[in-house]
Structure 1
Amino acid sequence: MYVIITYDIGQKRVSKVCKKLKEYLRWTQNSVFEGEISKTKLLECLAALDNITISSEDSIYLYQVDNPKNIKKKVIGLEKSFEDLFL
């Protein structure tokens, strides 16, 4: 399946969440990750995020798309690739 994960995390935990999400998905913008992932890997990722975040302070939004052909992505302006910045 294809997923998009966005987050609003307390400053002390942002780098841990970002690092964990990089293990599973592609970093496309600040606080946004997306990509293909199996259900098993997604559950593993969410469990890891649950161990890092504080539910009363942080929020994670998960958008799931079972058929990625249903997504049309249009970038207006500069398309960022954070992975290229750090390689």
Structure 2
Amino acid sequence: MFIILVYDANEKRVSKFHKICKKYLTHVQNSVFEGEITEANYRMLIDELRTIINNDEDSVLVYKFRTKKYYEREEFGIKKPSSEDIFF
């Protein structure tokens, strides 16, 4: 599956969120990651994030796409890396 993950975390935990997400996905913007991920790796990612999240201060949004067939990315301004840049 292809996902876009966005988090908003307390300053104390931002680097932990970033480190975990970077293991599984491509960092594309501040607190925004995207990429292809297997169901097993997705579960591991979410499990790791649950160990550090403070449910009263942090939030995580995950947008799931079954396939990239219906995914379109439009950019403006400074070009940031994309999960597609890794493969091409």
Is TM (by shorter chain) over 0.5? yes
Unaligned regions of 5+ residues in structure 2, if any?
82-88
Equivalent residue, structure 2, for 1:49: 49
Match of 1:5 in 2: 5
Over residues 20-73 of structure 1, what are the superposed CA-to-partner deviations in whole Å (9 max), with x where a residue is unaligned? 100000000001000000011001000000001111110000000001110110
For 1:25, the equivalent position in structure 2 comes to 25
TM-score, normalised on structure 1? 0.90
Structure 1 vs Structure 2 CA RMSD: 1.2
Aligned residue type for 1:7: Y
Percent of pairs with identical residues: 38
1:14 & 1:36 partners in 2: Cα distance? Answer: 22
Q: What is the aligned residue count?
A: 82
Question: Partners of 2:79 and 2:69 in 1: how far apart?
Answer: 20
Task: Give 2:67's aligned residue.
Answer: 67
Counterpart of 2:75 in 1: which secondary structure?
Answer: coil
Q: 5+ residue gaps in structure 1?
A: 82-87
For residues 79 and 2 of structure 1, the distance between their equivalents in structure 2, rounded to whole angstroms, comes to 20
Return the alpha-carbon distance in structure 1 between the equivalents of residues 54 and 73 of structure 2.
31
Q: 1:85 corresponds to which residue?
A: none
Following TM superposition, the consecutive aligned residue runs of length 4 or more in structure 1 with deviations greater than 4 angstroms are none
- CA–CA separation in structure 2 for the residues paired with 1:30 and 1:69: 25
